[in-house]
Amino acid sequence: MQQMSADSDRFTLYGTSACHLCELAEDMLRPLCAAAELEYTKVDISESDELFRRYGVRIPVLADSRGRELDWPFSPEQLRVFCSA
């Protein structure tokens, strides 16, 4: 998890530990969050039946604290726009 300022935007990256696309998404997200002082948490959907039903075929999915979601595939530019909106 990236630690940023307490009043920053918060994001959740839904995925699984065995998902190479999730790793790619995090590789794009990590520097963006560090540069913009944003915070994100990774959630492994395999630990919850409900999350697996919701996100199983969509991962990786980035969600924000307002309930918006960005499904894979997304580009670095789409990710930047989503995180700055």
Q: Which residues form the domain of 71?
A: 10-84
Structure confidence at residue 3 (pLDDT): 37
Q: Does this model's pTM top 0.75? A: yes
Task: Supply the mean pLDDT for the chain.
Answer: 90
Structure tokens at 9: 């935007």
**Is the pLDDT assigned to residue 52 strictly greater than 80?**
yes
pLDDT tens per residue, range 67-85: 999 999 999 999 999 999 8
Residue 21 belongs to some domain of the structure = yes
Task: Answer yes or no: are the C-beta atoms of 61 and 70 closer than 8 Å.
Answer: yes
Where helices occur in 37-75 by DSSP H, the ranges are: 49-55
The CATH number of residue 29's host domain is: 3.40.30.10
CA distance 62 to 7: 19
Average pLDDT, integer, range 19-23: 97
Note the helical H segments in the chain: 20-36, 49-55, 76-84
Whether 3 is covered by a domain: the verdict is no
